[in-house]
Amino acid sequence: MDLKIKAWRQKNANSKGGFENYDVQNITEDSSFLEMLDVLNEQLLGEGTEPIAFDHDCREGICGMCSLFVNGRAHGPDTEITTCQLHMRKFKDGDTITIEPWRSGGFPIIKDLMVDRTAYDKILQAGGYVSINTGGVPDGNAIPIAKIDSDEAMDAASCVGCGACVATCKNSSAMLFVSSKVSQLALLPQGKIEGKRRAQAMVAKMDELGFGNCTNTGACEIECPKGISIAHIARLNREFLFATCKD
């Protein structure tokens, strides 16, 4: 198939960006979206033009780095996928595809389609971990945990930190990401010891980094590549309120 690509180009965070148009030919419908971008970049290099910068790593839907807005949707026109799992059969011959980076004050643009998502790392460093010694692996596994709790904790832990929730939210809220990290630990006995400090510290860091608040529109859940439920946001709110009331 032949396609028209409308891609955002921006030299760096301090430069003014804009869309540029490209034509790409002979793309097979079984190609992934990132493979199509590879073909386009090879074409640009052959023309002596600087290739389009975009993030990628595993290309298996694991790392969440391939974060792009495609035709107005985070990760493109499909559900519960990352961009690397988007295939060109979702488009038609002759389509115009608009590609943008995440749009959020918390994720400043580095170059072209690449954004700086270290804000997520800072939120995790504020409290998304367990620092209490719970013993060796056999001892830890011996702690009885209800299956419904362990399953829900694993669902929350499936968050890959791609940032689609922030990019999709009209308020650029990071609540789904933060709640998934708080929830996966709040459901387990190992995480309860530091629960009070964790909820307060991670929410405070989220606010400090300029992310907005949640207004429960549910857009984050719809575009999340792992289908993480906004029910975790309710748990985060309970954890935060409980920690505040205990002061």
Same domain? For 94 and 126 the reply is no
Q: How far apart are CA 244 and CA 247, in angstroms?
A: 6
Same domain? For 78 and 146 the reply is no
One-letter identity of residue 166: V
Instruction: Judge if pTM exceeds 0.85.
Output: yes
Burial class (CB in 10 A: 0-12, 13-18, 19+), 135: exposed
User: What confidence score (pLDDT) does residue 129 get?
Assistant: 87
Same domain? For 105 and 132 the reply is no
Same domain? For 89 and 71 the reply is yes
Same domain? For 178 and 122 the reply is yes
pLDDT tens digits along 188-210 = 888 888 888 999 999 999 999 99
Same domain? For 15 and 104 the reply is yes
Quickly state the pLDDT bin for 3 (edges 50, 70, 90).
very high
pLDDT at residue 137 tops 90: no
Residue pair 211/107 in contact by the 8 Å Cβ criterion: no
Residue pair 6/21 in contact by the 8 Å Cβ criterion: yes
Residue pair 221/176 in contact by the 8 Å Cβ criterion: yes
Same domain? For 139 and 215 the reply is yes
Placement of tokens 């650029």 in the chain: 172
User: What confidence score (pLDDT) does residue 164 get?
Assistant: 97
Q: How far apart are CA 240 and CA 36, in angstroms?
A: 44
Q: What is the mean pLDDT of residues 218-245?
A: 93
Q: Of the residues 111, 146, 162, which one is the last residue of a structural domain?
A: 111
Q: How far apart are CA 105 and CA 38, in angstroms?
A: 28
Same domain? For 148 and 230 the reply is yes
Q: How far apart are CA 245 and CA 247, in angstroms?
A: 5
Residue pair 138/196 in contact by the 8 Å Cβ criterion: no
Q: Of the residues 65, 88, 111, which one is the last residue of a structural domain?
A: 111
Quickly state the pLDDT bin for 83 (edges 50, 70, 90).
very high
Same domain? For 13 and 79 the reply is yes
CATH number of the domain enclosing 145: 1.10.1060.10
Beta-carbon contacts of residue 84 (< 8 Å; ≥ 6 apart): 32, 33, 34, 56, 58, 59, 60, 61, 66
Q: What is the mean pLDDT of residues 121-143?
A: 79
CATH number of the domain enclosing 67: 3.10.20.30
Same domain? For 32 and 151 the reply is no
Same domain? For 136 and 192 the reply is yes
**In sequence order, what are the beta bridge partners of 109?**
115
pLDDT at residue 134 tops 80: no
Q: How far apart are CA 150 and CA 142, in angstroms?
A: 13
Residue pair 166/107 in contact by the 8 Å Cβ criterion: yes
Q: Of the residues 88, 111, 134, which one is the last residue of a structural domain?
A: 111
Question: What's the domain range around 184?
Answer: 117-245
State residue 242 phi and psi, 5-degree precision: -65, -40
User: What confidence score (pLDDT) does residue 143 get?
Assistant: 75
How many domains does one find in the chain? 2
Placement of tokens 């389509």 in the chain: 95
Give Cα 148 distance to the centre of its chain. 25
Same domain? For 239 and 155 the reply is yes
- DSSP per-residue letters across 139-176: HHHTS---HHHHHHHHHHHT-----HHHHHSTT-B-HH
